[in-house]
Amino acid sequence: MLCNQIEQIHRNLNDTFPALCRIAVVLYDKETDMLKTFTNSTRDATPIQYYSSKLSNSESLSKMVATREIRIIDDITAISSDRRHTKLIKAAGYRSSLTFPIFSKDSLIGILFMNAKEVSYFTPQRVEQLKIFIHLISTLLIAETMPLKTLKGAVATAREFSRIKDEETGAHLSRMSHYARVIALEIAEKHDLNDEMIEYIFQFSPLHDVGKVGVPDKIILKNGKLSNDERSVVQTHVHIGKGIIDTMVDQFDLDGLDNVQMLRNIVLYHHECIDGSGYPEGLKGEAIPIEARITSTADVFDALTSKRPYKEAWSNRKALEFMAENKGRMFDPDCVDALFASKPILKAIQLRFKEDKLG
């Protein structure tokens, strides 16, 4: 995992740079302009986790990205800003910083931060010594994210060629993946989820129904109630989906992709129910992987609150009431509680990813 690699680099660097107390990498989401904490190695301070902010809200970072140059801040205490990130950095005791944008070709994929508790620590001489490690970390991040991009592209291609025309529009997948991230962030500490795991849940959750490519259109597109036989055919999509993921991982040589088992769990188990009444294995409670419980909750919430050919959209209130009635039966109680705790964010996601004629 990238976090282990960053930890090892940090340990090695501390032999020469003992005052270097933090190395952190954040990811950039072009779709929302958000920078999101991803992984870090922190000494003598509480790690900054579960944080996101718009790149455009920071003039300094935006300028750095535009110029693709290293940014050095000699005295963080001299910065007058009420932004939460600045407050967290100051509270941790960091006094100077080095920041570098990480690009893959022309696409910004993340930003590297290094911090020290000494003012003016990142001198030109030290920066020159650190450059090889900066580029090493950049290469590691690119190597981490490119297989994921390949896998998502392959899945999207498979869906396109199969001409799936069910309810899973692009807007639906965007909304439910953001709901999944909201839930994961809310329950992160209780369920021991770190930033990397949260990011992979966000990235993998839209792939949950890839197995529907193997279900006949006459069943997928049926407006009326499914027969028992048709329902049994639909349920095969979880095994079909896992087979597709396994084939793609093998064919694209993606065995090294971190947390790929989380993807398999999401695809295979997102229709399991907490009380054991789901499929394909009738798992109960914590036997269902947390990433699948999160995905199921996010997916159903969006399905309920979205208009479909066979139903009108429910209000958020009605959908949440239904999920509350079924928590501990269909849904993980912590995941449902996370939705209730995030009502304003849910509305913002819906406004950001509205349906259109193209989905």
What's residue 38's pLDDT? 96
What's residue 168's pLDDT? 60
What's residue 359's pLDDT? 41
Mean pLDDT in order along the chain per 10 residues (359 residues):
91 95 96 95 92 94 96 92 84 95 95 96 97 96 85 70 55 92 98 95 92 87 87 95 90 77 95 98 98 98 88 95 97 98 96 69
Q: How far is 18 from 41, CA to CA, in rounded Å?
A: 14
What's residue 249's pLDDT? 85
> 3.30.450.40, 3.10.350.10, 3.40.1180.10, 3.30.590.10: which CATH number matches 2-144?
3.30.450.40
Cα–Cα distance list, 108 to 62, 204, 265 (Å): 11, 20, 29
Q: pTM for the whole thing? A: 0.90
What's residue 358's pLDDT? 40
What confidence tens digit (pLDDT) does each residue in 304-354 have? 999 877 789 999 999 999 999 999 999 999 999 999 999 999 999 999 998
- Where do the domains of the chain lie? 2-144, 163-352
What's residue 85's pLDDT? 83
Tell me which CATH code domain 163-352 carries: 1.10.3210.10
Catalytic sites, residue numbers: 212
What confidence tens digit (pLDDT) does each residue in 71-114 have? 999 999 988 777 888 888 888 899 999 999 999 989 999 999 99
**Main-chain dihedrals φ then ψ at residue 96, nearest 5 degrees:** -145, 160
